[in-house]
């Protein structure tokens, strides 16, 4: 499903920083993978490339057999919206929209009516145990609830892959474990999942651990 061949990435603002140094990686459909490494090791850079949020310099990235390289912004957005769901450490919810509206947002870009969007969003909130919180704004929710809203939002467009960057980084250990159980369950239902973390308790939930050190897979 995901094939990376000799991916290199250098940031050039100030002195050049060679962040990814020849990454080869193969991820199959249904995999549950964690990417571990110290802060600054290039985890987010790698995840952003996988999510077509950022470009790489050399090498090849194939997603479902398609070469993801030098895409136009509109093509990149189309692939992203169709194939990838994102979960972030800081939840990235829209503060003036309630839980239901946040979950429904990806469907807005698929020309689905508001009524239909909201009714589908309610199904996903229900699935995440948040039906009673649908009309609450993000600042009226706990960290764990906010991340469950974000998970529902990632799932609603029925992506093929979920990419999560430190999804438990802002949560206490009990809530963190609850969120990982939810992600495990989503994976058991067939979703390919890639999680960036520096916490061993988090990676222990996954089926495969990839160690990134100084831009190289160890």
**Binding partner of 19, given Mg ion, ligand ADP, none, CB within 5-8 angstroms per partner class:** ligand ADP
Residues in the chain: 218
- d(CA 138, CA 157) in angstroms, rounded, equals 21
Tell me if 138 sits within 8 A of 93, measured CB to CB: yes
Rank residues 40 and 218 by Cβ distance to ligand ADP and give the closer one.
40
Interface with Mg ion, residue 44, by CB under 5 A: yes
Per CB under 5 A, which region of 41-49, 81-89, 101-109, 172-180 contacts Mg ion? 41-49
- Residues of span 8-27 touching ligand ADP by CB under 6 A: 11, 13, 17, 19
State in angstroms the smallest separation of the CB of 34 from ligand ADP. Answer: 13
Per CB under 5 A, which region of 43-51, 55-63, 72-80, 98-106 contacts Mg ion? 43-51
- d(CA 53, CA 63) in angstroms, rounded, equals 14
- d(CA 4, CA 62) in angstroms, rounded, equals 6
- Count CA atoms closer than 13 A to 89's CA, side-chain side: 10
Rank residues 88 and 124 by Cβ distance to ligand ADP and give the closer one.
88
State in angstroms the smallest separation of the CB of 198 from ligand ADP. Answer: 8
- d(CA 207, CA 176) in angstroms, rounded, equals 17
Contacts of 53 (CB under 8 A, 6+ apart): 80
Choosing from 37, 85, 144, 159, the residue that interacts with ligand ADP (CB under 6 A) is 37
DSSP 158: -
Interface with ligand ADP, residue 39, by CB under 6 A: yes
Tell me which H or E stretch contains 113. Answer: none
Which residues in this chain contact Mg ion in the complex, by CB under 5 A?
43-44
Which residues are near ligand ADP by CB under 6 A?
11, 13, 17, 19, 37, 39-45
């Amino acid at each position: 499903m995901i094939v990376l061949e000799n991916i290199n990435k250098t940031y050039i603002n100030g002195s050049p920083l060679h962040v990814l140094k020849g990454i080869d990686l193969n991820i199959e459909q249904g995999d549950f993978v964690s990417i571990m490494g110290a802060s600054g090791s290039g985890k987010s850079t790698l995840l952003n490339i996988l999510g077509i949020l950022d470009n790489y310099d050399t090498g090849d990235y194939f997603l479902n057999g398609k070469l993801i390289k030098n895409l136009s912004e509109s093509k990149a957005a189309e692939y992203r919206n169709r194939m990838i769901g994102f979960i972030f450490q800081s939840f990235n919810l829209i503060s003036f929209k309630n839980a239901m509206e946040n979950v429904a947002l990806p469907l807005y870009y698929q020309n689905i009516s508001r009524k239909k969007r909201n009714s589908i969003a309610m199904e996903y909130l229900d699935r995440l145990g948040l039906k009673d919180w649908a009309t609450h704004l993000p600042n009226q929710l706990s960290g764990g609830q906010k991340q469950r809203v974000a998970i529902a939002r990632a799932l609603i467009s029925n992506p093929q892959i979920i990419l999560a960057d430190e999804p438990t980084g802002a949560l206490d250990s009990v809530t963190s474990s609850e969120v990982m159980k939810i992600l495990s369950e989503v994976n058991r239902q067939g979703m390919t999942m890639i999680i960036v973390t520096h916490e061993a308790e988090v990676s222990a939930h996954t089926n495969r651990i990839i160690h990134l050190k100084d831009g190289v897979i160890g």
